[in-house]
Amino acid sequence: MLLLIAHQLISILFLILFPLPIIAFVKSRTKQQLPTPKLWKILVMLANLALFVSLITGFIIFPDYTSLRVWISVILVLVIGAFLGIFSKRLKLYQLEKDIEAQQKHLRKISTIGFGYIIITIGTFWFMSNWHNF
Indicate whether 133 belongs to the interface with ligand HEM (CB under 6 A). Answer: no
**Which of 95, 87, 9 has its CA nearest to residue 54?**
9
Q: Which stretch binds ligand HEM (CB under 6 A): 25-33, 68-76, 84-92, 110-118?
A: 68-76
Near ligand HEM by CB under 6 A: residue from 23, 55, 110, 118: 55
CB 121 within 8 A of CB 83: no
Cα–Cα distance for residue pair 77/103, rounded to 1 Å: 29
Cα–Cα distance for residue pair 43/27, rounded to 1 Å: 18
Q: Which residues bind ligand HEM (CB under 6 A)?
A: 4, 7-8, 11, 14, 51, 54-55, 58-59, 61-62, 70, 73-74, 76-77, 80, 124-125, 128-129, 131
